Amino acid sequence: MTRFLLPGILFFSLIAFFVRFADLDRRPMHHDEGNQAVRSGQLLEEGVYRYDPEDHHGPALYYLSLPAGWVTSGRDFNGTTEVTWRLIPVLFGSGLILLLWFLRDGMPKFALIAAAALTAISPAMVYYSRFYIQEMLLVFFTLGAIAAGWRYSRRPSHGWAAILGLCLALMLATKETAILAWFAMFVGLAVLLLTDKESEPWFPRPVPVRHLAVALVVAALTYVLFFTSFFTNPAGLLDSLRAYRFYLPRGLGQSLHRHPTYYYLHLLLFYDQGRGPIWSEAFVVVFAVIGGVLAWRRPATQETRLIRFLAVYAAVLTLTYSLIPHKTPWCLISFLHGMILVAGWGMAESFRRIRGNIAKVMLAIAIVAGTVHLAWLAYQANFRYPTDPSNPYAYVETSPDLLNLVRRVEDIAALAPDGQDMLIRVVTDPYNTWPIPWYLRRYPSVGYWNSFADIPPQLPLPTVLVTNPEFEEQIPPPIRDGYQAEFFGLRTNVLLLVYIRKDIWQEFLARR
């Protein structure tokens, strides 16, 4: 099995890449994706980024996205596409599998191959690897820290100490919830130390000061570089601490995204909205439970140390996220990936323990069937129901109908005397503004307001007005009487009302 490990990891990493990259612009940009793409575009064009302690999370995603922007459009944000930005989580999501190589002497080879396969085809892992948000980067750097820590325990060196410090800092530079993963790691390590009765220590005690210094210096430098925007915004350091003043109340329930404790397990175990498939990644959860239980039924040895740590880490992280009232479905991939690692070990250990060829064949059939089912669900989630509310991972997704609005604006711009320079006015509440700025990024004369009362009266009437139906009574009479109205969907049960100047609308109808 050893000689097949590296080819197997490479194979599943390639499978993961192609599954994640295929038809990457199929789903409209989500509210959060559009917001972050625009911020990345500002950094791309102007070289300006300032960490916002109230929202948008850490700087790592924006800076690490720059190469994709440079390659696809130079410094022209308008030339970027959905693929430009979503390529980043695709690369980190498929690269996550490559990191398994560094755990090769801590887990059976079959377990690592199984974990690689599950990572490649898990519906949630695939879905959020095609999503331009921070989560997949956080998972990647988390596994990077675990792998570096494991390698350091096996062979202490300045190099692994430096990589450990780098990954821990990049976790925090990616998203503030890194502290939850740190906590789960700490608990896992503490439990391991308290229960390991081996006479031979498995890491240097005490840790050499020079190694600790290297890790701290690399972590501190990485933290400072990112949060100060590479020394252009010193206030970013203080803001990175102030952020918890805003995120803590939100996490404790002052949020639109408040859900019950069982929310994440409900999504993973059994989710049925009456249409589409019945969604479940219970296959992973069950084998993770089996793996966790069996890991603690075996003696504490070199072979079980890593899996015991991972079992505690995954359990603590699952419990922590579940207890926090603020919940969004993409957060679950942090602990789901931990479950996947333990599930791979659970499969390998089940094969080792089971007796009889018939029983082994039955187990193999069950594993193949469960894997095929996951792959089928991954296809359904990403290529058939990517924006459907019946999909547990499609959370307040943008309606495909918004793309019809974008095409209508393009049609009108083609007929308007000033073309793409035509005046466009967007009057919506803040929650219903995004991802409109992403889709209207190529129109230089777009203005955004949260109410009609905010619009200066001296401004000329626009060629196109985009607003919410709730604001219809506030629309000025010249627009209400002299424009043609259309409705388009923004999200499920959320509509946009679009007014188009009637002379251009009539010309548009005449040319259809």
Do 342 and 430 belong to one domain? Answer: no
Backbone angles phi, psi at 496, to 5 degrees: -115, 140
Residue 1 pLDDT exceeds 80: no
What is the tens place of the pLDDT at every residue in 383-395?
Answer: 999 999 999 999 9
Average pLDDT, the chain: 94
Whether residues 311 and 337 share a domain: the answer is: yes
- Name the residue among 244, 348, 261, 268 with its Cα closest to residue 304: 348
Tell whether 196 and 69 lie within a shared domain.
Answer: yes
Q: How confident is the model at residue 462 (pLDDT cuts 50, 70, 90)?
A: very high
Q: Are residues 264 and 189 in the same domain?
A: yes
Q: So what's the pLDDT on residue 239?
A: 95
Q: Domain for residue 389, yes or no? A: no
Q: CB under 8 Å to 80, separation ≥6 — which residues?
A: 37, 41, 44, 69, 72, 73
Percent of the chain with pLDDT over 90: 86
**CA angle (437, 441, 443) in 5-degree steps:** 115
Helix, strand, or coil (residue 427): strand
Q: Are residues 281 and 166 in the same domain?
A: yes
Residues 79 and 181 in one domain: yes
Q: Do both 167 and 34 map to the same domain?
A: yes
| For the chain, counts of helices (H) and of strands (E) | 20, 5
**For residue 145, is it within any domain?**
yes
Question: Hey, what are 435's tokens?
Answer: 């991802």
Is there a contact between 94 and 13 (Cβ–Cβ < 8 Å)? yes
Residue that finishes a domain, picked among 384, 414, 438: 384
Tell me which residue range forms the domain holding 415. 401-511
- Rounded Cα–Cα distance for residues 359 and 350 (Å): 10
Give 195's pLDDT tier (boundaries 50, 70, 90): confident
- Is the separation of the CB atoms in 88 and 32 below 8 Å? no
User: What is the pTM (predicted TM-score) of this model?
Assistant: 0.95
Classify 224 as helix, strand or coil: helix
Q: Is residue 355 part of a domain?
A: yes
Do the domain assignments include residue 394? no
Q: What does the alpha-carbon distance between residue 169 and residue 151 come to, in Å, rounded to a whole number?
A: 18
How far is residue 462's CA from residue 447's CA, in Å, rounded to a whole number?
Answer: 10
Query: Can you list the alpha helix ranges (DSSP code H) found in 99-134?
Result: 109-121, 123-128
Has residue 52 been placed in a domain? Answer: yes
Q: Which two tokens stand for residue 473?
A: 């009574």
Q: Among 322, 351, 384, where does a domain finish? A: 384
Whether 353 and 405 share a structural domain? no
Same domain, 493 and 371: no
Query: Is 396 a domain residue?
Result: no
Strands, sheet with 424-427, edge to edge from the N-terminal-most edge strand: 446-449, 424-427, 464-467, 494-501, 483-491
Q: What tens digit of pLDDT does each residue of 245-301 get?
A: 999 888 887 888 999 999 999 999 999 998 889 999 999 999 999 999 999 888 777
User: Does one domain contain both 412 and 378?
Assistant: no
Q: Of the candidates 384, 411, 433, which is a domain's last residue?
A: 384
Rounded CA gap, 405 and 464, in Å? 11
Residue 390 resides in a domain: no
pLDDT in tens, 133-149: 999 999 999 999 999 99
Q: How many domains does the chain have?
A: 2
- How far apart are the C-alpha atoms of 333 and 325, rounded to whole Å? 17
Q: Across residues 447-471, what is the average pLDDT? A: 93
Do 379 and 405 lie in one domain? The reply is: no
The stretch 145-173 carries a mean pLDDT of 96
One domain, residues 440 and 377: no
Residue 392 lies in a domain: no
Phi, psi of 286 (to 5 degrees): -65, -45
